[in-house]
Amino acid sequence: MSDVAANLAALRSRIAAACAAAGRDAAAITLVAVSKTHPAEAVGQALAAGQRVFGENRVQEAKAKFPDLRAAWPDLALHLIGPLQTNKVRDAVALFDVIETVDRPKLARALADEMARAGRFPRCLVQVNIGREAQKAGIDPDQADALIALCRNEYRLPLCGVMAIPPADQDPAPYFRLLAEIARRNGLEVVSMGMSGDFEAAIAEGATHVRVGSAIFGSRPYPA
């Protein structure tokens, strides 16, 4: 068994244990394997081990890596989890199944226009800057409800949830609770939060999707 397969098995056990501790069904958690900077070979190992949902930060990297993988594994699902520039919207709509990083009205409008043009409608999440950190993308928590309403009512985006990355140097639990509350009060089913270092806490606070990279693929890129 490859290291990737062994890491996935260990990670799934940890997810199951976290769900048991929280009184949740492990089947309700979607693992997004963050494959950014890792080559197609590593993704192929994860696919062979049963993983089907992947996350990429950059449109261009995913565009180079995933078309051949999708041809071989047509049931894979690809999430965009990095910031999206409006000039990359056409490629993003063509390539991704879920866009997790809708964080401003201009981007929402560009996505809506391109989806109407292309006839392809990847699901969308609003990214919330849950810790109000200047260096991070995302809408301010106080403005999240308004952006969600705009995406739904004016742009008619296929909006299904919210995502966030909490501050790295603080207890993530209060931030995770805040994101889950934003989702709850807006009737959104997907709560994407938690990474390799904090996904158990995210599951305890209501995550439906956890985005894990280094615990699967290692902390450094595989050689090309």
**How high is the mean pLDDT in each 10-residue block of the chain (224 residues)?**
91 98 97 96 97 98 96 97 98 98 98 98 98 95 98 98 96 98 98 96 98 90 48
What is the extent of the structural domain holding 170? Answer: 3-217
The answer as to whether 50 is a domain residue is yes
- Whole-model pTM: value is 0.95
Any idea what the CATH number is for the domain that residue 111 is in?
3.20.20.10
The answer as to whether 197 is a domain residue is yes
Decide if 199 contacts 210 (C-beta within 8 A). yes
Could you report the per-residue pLDDT of 99-154, keeping only the tens digit for each? 999 999 999 999 999 999 999 999 999 999 999 999 999 999 999 999 999 999 99
| 212/153 Cα distance (integer angstroms) | 32
> Based on the structure, what is the number of domains in the chain?
1
Q: Tell me the chain's radius of gyration from C-alpha atoms.
A: 17
| 49/42 Cα distance (integer angstroms) | 11
The answer as to whether 168 is a domain residue is yes
Which pLDDT score, from 0 to 100, does residue 222 have?
46
| Cβ contacts of 35 within 8 Å, gap of 6 or more | 42, 43, 46, 54, 55, 56, 65, 213, 217
| 104/188 Cα distance (integer angstroms) | 18
The answer as to whether 222 is a domain residue is no
The answer as to whether 42 is a domain residue is yes
The answer as to whether 223 is a domain residue is no
Which pLDDT score, from 0 to 100, does residue 219 have?
76
Which pLDDT score, from 0 to 100, does residue 60 have?
97
The answer as to whether 224 is a domain residue is no
Q: How far apart are the first and last CA of the chain?
A: 20
Decide if 15 contacts 210 (C-beta within 8 A). yes
Name which of 57, 17, 7 is nearest 35 in CA terms: 57
The answer as to whether 170 is a domain residue is yes
